[in-house]
Amino acid sequence: MKQITIAGKGSTDNLKLLEVPDQRVAPGQIQIRVEAVGVNFADVMIRLGLYPDAPKFPAVPGYEVAGTVEAVGSEVSEDWLGKPVVAMCNFGGYSEKVWLDEKLVHVRPEGISPVKGAALLVNFLTAWQMVRVMAPVSAGDVVLVHSAAGGVGLAVVQLCALVGARVLGSASESKHEFLSQLGLEFVFDSQRRDFATAVKAATKGKGVDVALEPRNGPWIMESYQAMAKCGRLVLFGFSHAAVGSGSGVLSSLKTLAKIPWLKLNPLRLMNDNKSMAGVNLGRMWDMGYKTRAWVKELLELQASGKIDPVIDLVLPFSRAAEAHQRLEKRMNVGKVILVPDDLFDSGEGSVR
């Protein structure tokens, strides 16, 4: 089978499409013939050497796949055979085949294509954990989401719409019109440093009920100041450390140095009547009893048409470098998907 491997830290030149041997299906495992793989910013961070939980190089990235069950190990029902599925991977998804524990695999409902299935899990699970679990939103709440045109941001927009919450967001200027058409009430440049003032003005001085911040570093305090009393700030990334192909330890240290370690302390939170939370889906592998229920609800919403992942671009495995560059340069609007070369339809590979 073919597999995309990151040979070492650095540029996209380190993404290698290799021929590797198949594995054997172990007891309790399901073998999936992969038809689509979701590309996430975490994959870029792995390649840049900025992801602390990544395996040692050479490493195979990839957190989510969609495909068809080809084989099952002992202790797994043969009823799985031939079923369309989606699955979470603890790395290793950039492969034509994956071997996963049964509890990580979910039946893909009829009508959900492999591309749409692969676009669901990471982005919508992250969004779900933020706006349904850590900082639940309800009708009339005002939510501020940064990187609103990315996969997670657009998932947040859809989940907020389901409950009648209002959304404000930031993104690069080229994406503002698209976001406004989705119903965002206010959109500003994601590089703007004084956005708390603008957010307060857009909310008639009140501030937002929930702020979702993926950039970390100097942006945390601005998002905090953009909140109303009883506001909830959720941090879900470290993307400001990845500022280009030269990113590395220095950019990470600069981002860490600008975190307001002393300003946001327990006393400050109590006096301001605000709260903070953090989300890292990659640290939820031991919480399957929770995440399986979330996936079930998300798949039901997707099958009913109530949520629909936005696809930015579909590319073959052999063009994985382009996929990474698109995320790294913040060019994407929605999800970037990789498919095995023999399944790639050039008609799908179009930019929104």
Q: Could you give the CA distance from residue 318 to residue 349 in angstroms, rounded to a whole number?
A: 13
- For the segment(s) 124-282, the CATH number from 3.90.180.10, 3.40.50.300, 3.50.50.60, 3.40.50.720 is 3.90.180.10
- Taking CA atoms, 255 is separated from 85, 190, 214, 239, in Å, by 38, 16, 12, 9
Q: Could you give the CA distance from residue 217 to residue 330 in angstroms, rounded to a whole number?
A: 18
Tens digits of residue pLDDT in 313-324: 999 999 999 999
Tens digits of residue pLDDT in 189-236: 988 888 999 999 999 999 999 999 998 778 899 999 999 999 999 999
Tokens 């909830």 locate to: 232
Q: What's the pLDDT at 246? A: 55
Closest CA to 107 of 128, 82, 84, 134: 84
SS3 call for 264: coil
Beta strands in 1-130 (DSSP E): 2-6, 15-19, 29-39, 64-72, 84-88, 97-101, 105-107
Closest CA to 301 of 109, 129, 166: 109
Low-confidence ranges of the chain (pLDDT < 50): 240-241, 350-352
Residues forming CATH 3.90.180.10 domain(s) in the chain: 2-120+309-343, 124-282
- 2-120+309-343 fold: Quinone Oxidoreductase; Chain A, domain 1 (3.90.180)
Model-wide pTM > 0.85? yes
- Asked whether the beta carbons of 62 and 37 are under 8 A apart, the reply is yes
Helix intervals (H) in the chain:
41-47, 114-118, 121-128, 151-163, 176-181, 195-202, 219-225, 249-257, 266-272, 288-303, 320-328
* Cα first-last separation, the chain: 31
